[in-house]
């Protein structure tokens, strides 16, 4: 079993016509979860921060992205169900025994990072295909099984999850007398509340799964 971390710089993403079009419309697009998958594409729960003067209709007009439902809108962005038929999504769907782990996203500031887990042979095939579809700037392959526990959490949590969780702990979010809100924490890290909360939730799930596996 392997876990792969793929990273793209913003300039590299602009080499893709489809993603470059997203960056022209969106300040950031955060994929919070996968709602359904079929042979044509994947329906995603996404939080989108539009650039000034841009509209959600412009995103809906792109070839590989269709807005299915607009759920809510606030100062953090627009929460939508989005049907994606981008070759990157199709590549992942067509391969068995791999799992793309949300949340992940695209932004002008941070580029894109994606984490994928699965069987070794499937991971190798996916990497071969992804180098054709959208070559990453960095590929880090890790094993779930390690001979020692040095930096074990690096194989379980994403870099962003570690940052968010560490920030929440430092600010007393897990204290018995907690007096800080998720919105306050998200604002301090210049993130949407829903995105910050999803990182926290995913990190908690991974930690509890690790503890459960160690106890059994």
Contact call for residues 209 and 197 (beta carbons, < 8 A):
no
Is the pTM above the cut of 0.85? no
State the average pLDDT over residues 4-25: 89
Spell out the residues 6+ positions from residue 35 whose beta carbon is closer than 8 angstroms to its own. 43, 44, 45, 81
Scan for tokens 């539009």, then name that residue: 50
The span from the CA of 191 to the CA of 56, in Å, is: 20
| Statement: residue 147 has pLDDT above 50 | no
Please state the separation of Cα 93 from the chain's center in Å.
Answer: 16
The span from the CA of 158 to the CA of 162, in Å, is: 6
**Nearest by Cα to 20 from 134, 130, 116:** 134
Instruction: Quote the DSSP letter at residue 204.
Output: H
Please state the separation of Cα 29 from the chain's center in Å.
Answer: 9
Q: Report the percent of the chain where pLDDT is more than 90.
A: 25
Tell me the average pLDDT of the chain.
83
State the average pLDDT over residues 110-119: 86
Contact call for residues 85 and 40 (beta carbons, < 8 A):
yes
Give the angle subtended at the CA of 14 by the CAs of 8 and 19, to the nearest 5°. Answer: 85
State the average pLDDT over residues 124-135: 84
State the average pLDDT over residues 69-78: 87
State the average pLDDT over residues 94-103: 77
Give whichever of 47-51, 83-87, 130-134 has the largest mean pLDDT: 47-51
């Amino acid at each position: 079993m392997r876990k792969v971390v793929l990273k793209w710089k913003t300039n590299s993403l602009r080499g893709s016509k489809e993603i470059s079009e997203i960056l022209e419309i969106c300040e950031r697009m955060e994929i919070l979860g996968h709602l359904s998958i079929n042979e044509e594409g994947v329906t995603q729960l996404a939080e989108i921060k539009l650039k000034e003067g841009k509209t959600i209709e412009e995103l809906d007009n792109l070839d590989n992205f269709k807005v299915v439902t607009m759920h809510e809108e606030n100062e953090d962005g627009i929460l939508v169900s989005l049907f994606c038929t981008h070759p990157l999504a199709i590549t992942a769907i067509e391969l068995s025994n791999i799992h793309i782990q949300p949340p992940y996203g695209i932004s002008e500031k941070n580029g894109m990072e994606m984490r994928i887990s699965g069987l070794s042979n499937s991971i190798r095939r996916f990497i071969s295909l992804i180098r054709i579809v959208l070559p990453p700037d960095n590929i880090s392959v890790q094993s779930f099984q390690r001979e020692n526990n040095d930096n074990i959490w690096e194989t379980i949590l994403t870099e962003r999850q570690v940052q968010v969780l560490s920030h929440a702990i430092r600010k007393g979010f897990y204290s018995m007398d907690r007096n800080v809100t998720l919105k306050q924490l998200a604002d301090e890290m210049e993130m949407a509340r829903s995105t910050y909360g999803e990182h926290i939730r995913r990190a908690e799930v991974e930690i509890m799964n690790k503890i459960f596996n160690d106890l059994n």
